């Protein structure tokens, strides 16, 4: 397949080399369009050697061949990595002031972008609005990830790792493949699934609250149901951020993975990701309390055999906070893990929790010593915001995940 990789001017341009290499190693014909700013970060010979093709930069070179049209029409996929805030804004407006933006306007191929910028720029209302426009137009947005930024600070905005971008892009390519494209459809007709263009944020696993360097307060959540939701959302074309707290299963390829340990870390990661989320599914089991202080040395057994008291302080209720915040049309789904054996009482507990949390949907599942968290299958009841049952499902966690997404997608 012919893949056009657009590289724009950010420090993450050096990581674009890994993206290009990933496509070349998989046998694709890769053509790089680097903006002038990108070439200030990485030199032309590097892109040419890695892509094994001459690179393209200037709209006014090779005018006789109408290059932007030729490149745009030949592309089966366009990947822009890194995509700066400036380029994202130009794409949202449909501006065409360089070879890359002209090529994008000519092309009907699916487009994947990997944003890279500082947290403040990513969370700026202008960028949030531009990203929403691009999602609406079925662009696939991969990342950005959370972590160390160019300076000493860290936060969301780091370009996703090359392997993750390559994997996500190839999955878009696979889903958009052939029959319809041969008939020359619009990009909308190529939509790989009903969540295409949507950013789904899923939390999974269980948080751990440290007591001392070797001990923590935790829970038995394996993360299986959350990971299944992330996988099902990817299968339906969504861009997925998986915020994982100690998951026991592999995260799905193609999801942006943000690993967290404690409830406070999870809160920060969800808040960062929420800015661009269309759907948030809080499947993680979050600790309600954390030790008031974390000991720097291992807590020793006393000689007196007296009971040990540990003071706990309450963690923020992340789901309730997300639900109460400005939503911008975002759908918020909570989970309720309950041990109540009686179904009517279980339902009442769920309805009370829903009222406390204020989310759009609540998925109730029964947990116990051998059910729920640890098992490969699940049995759930899904309530809407008024507490009415909208769906009941049982089965393996991936099919339960799809039933949950059916409800959200039909909204
Ligand atoms: N949750 C959260 N922040 C917390 C605790 C829970 O965001 N501090 C979220 C979970 O991710 C889940 C939902 O709230 O989506 C319900 O979690 P659950 O543990 O069932 O409920 P709690 O609010 O902790 O209530 P309780 O433990 O009393 O049942």
Amino acid 95: pLDDT: 96
Instruction: Report the distance separating Cα 271 and Cα 59, nearest Å.
Output: 40
- Phi/psi of residue 323, each to 5°? -70, -35
Pocket test for ligand 1, best of 319, 351, 354 (most atoms within 8 A of CB): 319
Q: What is the residue with the minimal CA distance to atom 24 of ligand 1?
A: 288
Q: What is the residue with the minimal CA distance to atom 14 of ligand 1?
A: 319
- State the CB neighbour count (10 A cutoff) for residue 284: 29
The model's pLDDT over 209-251, given as tens digits with 9 standing for 90+, comes to 999 999 999 999 999 999 999 999 988 889 999 999 999 988 8
Q: DSSP letter at 194? A: T
Q: Are strands 312-314 and 289-291 parallel, antiparallel or unpaired?
A: antiparallel
Give the position, in ligand 1's atom list, of the atom nearest the Cα of 362: 15
DSSP 91-131: HHHT---SHHHHHHHH--S-EEEEE---HHHHHSHHHHHHH
- State the CB neighbour count (10 A cutoff) for residue 26: 12
Q: DSSP letter at 274? A: H
219 is catalytic: yes
- DSSP-assigned beta bridge partners for residue 210: 216
Domains 2-175 and 199-290+304-410 are alike in CATH topology: yes
Q: What is the residue with the minimal CA distance to atom 3 of ligand 1?
A: 317
Amino acid 178: pLDDT: 44
Q: DSSP letter at 53? A: S
How far apart are the CA of 182 and the centre of ligand 1, in A? Answer: 49
Give the position, in ligand 1's atom list, of the atom nearest the Cα of 349: 29
How far apart are the CA of 384 and the centre of ligand 1, in A? Answer: 17
Instruction: Report the distance separating Cα 103 and Cα 257, nearest Å.
Output: 31
Residues with CB under 6 A from ligand 1: 263, 282, 284-286, 288, 315, 317-319, 334-337, 353, 357
Q: What is the residue with the minimal CA distance to atom 21 of ligand 1?
A: 336
Contact criterion met (CB below 8 Å) for 29 and 3: yes
Helix axes 224-235, 397-409, angle to 10 degrees: 50
Q: What is the residue with the minimal CA distance to atom 5 of ligand 1?
A: 286
Low-confidence ranges of the chain (pLDDT < 50): 178-192
Instruction: Report the distance separating Cα 52 and Cα 329, nearest Å.
Output: 45
How far apart are the CA of 33 and the centre of ligand 1, in A? Answer: 47
How far apart are the CA of 286 and the centre of ligand 1, in A? Answer: 6
* Helix/strand/coil for 64: helix
Q: Which residue in 137, 16, 11 sits closest to 79, CA to CA?
A: 16
Give the position, in ligand 1's atom list, of the atom nearest the Cα of 316: 8
Contact criterion met (CB below 8 Å) for 207 and 383: no
Q: Which residue in 142, 133, 4, 140 sits closest to 79, CA to CA?
A: 4
How far apart are the CA of 373 and the centre of ligand 1, in A? Answer: 14
Domain segments of the chain as ranges: 2-175, 199-290+304-410
How far apart are the CA of 162 and the centre of ligand 1, in A? Answer: 35
Q: What is the residue with the minimal CA distance to atom 12 of ligand 1?
A: 335
| CATH architecture, domain 2-175 | 3-Layer(aba) Sandwich (3.40)
CATH no., domain 199-290+304-410:
3.40.50.10300
Amino acid 156: pLDDT: 79
Contact criterion met (CB below 8 Å) for 397 and 228: yes
With 0-12 / 13-18 / 19 or more C-beta atoms within 10 angstroms meaning exposed / middle / buried, residue 292 is: exposed
Amino acid 65: pLDDT: 65
- DSSP-assigned beta bridge partners for residue 33: 6, 56
Amino acid 191: pLDDT: 36
Q: Which of 102, 124, 219, 235 is labelled catalytic?
A: 219
Instruction: Report the distance separating Cα 364 and Cα 306, nearest Å.
Output: 40
Give the position, in ligand 1's atom list, of the atom nearest the Cα of 336: 20
Q: Which residue in 124, 120, 164 sits closest to 143, CA to CA?
A: 164
With 0-12 / 13-18 / 19 or more C-beta atoms within 10 angstroms meaning exposed / middle / buried, residue 271 is: middle
């Amino acid at each position: 397949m012919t893949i056009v990789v657009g590289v724009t001017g950010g420090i993450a341009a050096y990581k674009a080399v890994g993206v290009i290499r990933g496509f070349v190693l998989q046998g694709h014909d890769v053509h790089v369009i680097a903006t002038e700013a990108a070439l200030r970060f990485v030199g032309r010979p590097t892109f040419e050697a890695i892509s094994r093709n001459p690179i393209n930069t200037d709209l006014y070179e090779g005018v006789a061949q109408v290059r932007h049209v030729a490149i745009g029409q030949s592309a089966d996929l366009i990947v822009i990595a890194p995509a700066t805030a400036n380029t994202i804004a130009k794409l949202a407006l449909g501006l065409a002031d360089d070879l890359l933006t002209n090529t994008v306007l000519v092309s009907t191929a699916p487009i994947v972008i990997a944003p890279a910028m500082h947290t403040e720029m990513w969370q700026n209302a202008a960028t949030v609005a531009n990203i929403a426009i691009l999602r609406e137009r079925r662009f696939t947005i991969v990342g950005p990830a959370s972590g160390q930024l160019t300076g000493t600070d860290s936060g969301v905005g780091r370009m996703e790792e090359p392997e993750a971008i390559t994997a996500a892009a190839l999955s878009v390519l696979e889903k958009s493949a052939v029959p319809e494209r041969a008939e020359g459809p619009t990009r909308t007709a190529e939509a790989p699934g009903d969540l295409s263009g949507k950013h789904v944020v899923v939390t999974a696993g269980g948080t751990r609250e440290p007591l001392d360097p070797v001990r923590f307060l935790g829970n038995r959540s394996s993360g299986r149901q959350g990971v299944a939701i992330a996988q099902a959302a990817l299968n339906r074309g969504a861009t997925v951020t998986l915020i994982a707290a100690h998951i026991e299963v592999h995260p799905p390829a193609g999801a942006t993975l943000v690993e967290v340990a404690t409830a406070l870390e999870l809160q920060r990661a969800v808040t960062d990701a929420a800015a661009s989320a269309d759907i948030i599914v809080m499947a993680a089991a979050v600790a309600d309390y954390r030790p008031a202080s974390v000991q720097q040395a291992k807590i020793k057994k006393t000689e007196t055999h007296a009971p040990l008291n540990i003071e706990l302080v309450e963690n923020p209720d992340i789901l309730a906070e997300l639900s109460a915040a400005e939503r911008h049309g975002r759908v918020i789904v909570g989970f309720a893990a309950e041990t109540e054996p009686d179904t009517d009482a279980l339902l009442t507990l769920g309805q009370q929790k829903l009222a406390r949390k204020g989310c759009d949907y609540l998925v109730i599942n029964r947990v116990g010593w051998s059910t729920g968290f640890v098992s490969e299958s699940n049995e759930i009841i899904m309530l809407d915001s008024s507490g009415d049952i909208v769906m009941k499902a049982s089965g393996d966690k991936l099919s339960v995940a799809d039933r949950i997404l059916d409800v959200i997608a039909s909204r």
